[in-house]
Structure 1
Amino acid sequence: MLTGLVTIFNWSFPREDIERKEVVTQIALALRDEVLDLEKHEIKIIQIDEPALRENLPLRKSDWFSQYLDWAVPAFRLVHSGVAPTTQIHTHMCYSEFSDILQAIDDLDADVISFEASRADFTLIDDLVDHQFQTQVGPGVYDIHSPRVPSQNEIQGLIEQVIEKIPAENVWINPDCGLKTRSEAESFASLENMIAAIQAIREDVDEAS
């Protein structure tokens, strides 16, 4: 997993003597070298996180693409432009409203996007369906900011809701985000229930087919 170029830019103290587009492109080229090195060492799945993609949107919606997304999106594609078709590129976004930039997210050309879903009551799922979103998706099925351990049945019910709207083969199940806010005991218990729920769903899908 690598921190994405736009997130690095947004969460750092970038140079002010050159344009944002140029700084982000330079970061993209540096990350591209790292992605290719990972691939060279037989890493088959590489995640390029971009939780801060939406933060730099101009105030006027009419300027979103012309002043930002028209260069931020191609810069993301530049990062993974040299990988082989067999190397899978993931990205991750969380805790922001992404439904109004779904086309830009699709245009990142990642294979899979994972995103926070449980804290937003899975509302983004309907937006993805309405948009005819092409990228495979990894909805988070439990809130990692809470110490509560979700049961297998609870997670299984949420997964069933998702695959009623999105084909199961296009869905990757995740926690909402990273697990650093949780203890090992909480993390293992939650992940074990999540895996058990996924296995049960897979069995149901296999039987149905």
Structure 2
Amino acid sequence: MTFVPIAILVVTLSGLAFWATHRDKPLNMAQSQTGLTVTSAQNWKQHREDCVPYGAELVRKGILLPFDSPTPQIVHVACKTLKTEDEDDPICHTVCSGQFIGPGRVYLVHRKIEFECFGPPSRRLDAYLDLIFSDTFAIDGSRPNKCVRALAPNASVDWRGNLLVMKNVDQRREGEYEDASLADIEPVRAYFVHYRDG
């Protein structure tokens, strides 16, 4: 008769139970401060704020404007370092595709926020903000963004899907990202208030 330790049996049964209840739900692999974790879509809302992308070359904090919540959230964003042909600016950072905004095949639009209140004569920001969103949000079935509606109820554009804000280290169009914070949200709100599509 083969003896199976109770601990192994319990771990195996709990793993099978997890698989049985989560096999039809998308999973996200991530590394948090407590180590490698697997999270289901149901608790991703709570987990994403302290989640650090596993195996990322470079991680910077960005501001997520979630479609399903009125509250902006600080998230860890995996970035890549690209080499450029510009001798004065030999590297630039770019957000890895497929994070927070649709699948990896989505074309990401980057809009530069340079001023406190959408252009002169307001104060020019020391570091521009990079607003990132899907190019097809208006036609791909994305749901209205509750966060943008809470920030700018009278916005003229029906922003949809998740939006992401990254912070550049200065005013260069292609440069290096630094960590953003919720203190950077006011120019973003002003952008939505004053922006006119087309």
TM-score, scaled relative to structure 1: 0.27
User: More helix by proportion, 1 or 2?
Assistant: 1
Q: Which has the larger radius of gyration?
A: 2
Structure with more contact order per residue of length (Cα contacts < 8 Å, sep ≥ 6): 2
Q: Which has the higher strand share?
A: 2
Normalization by structure 2: what TM-score? Answer: 0.28
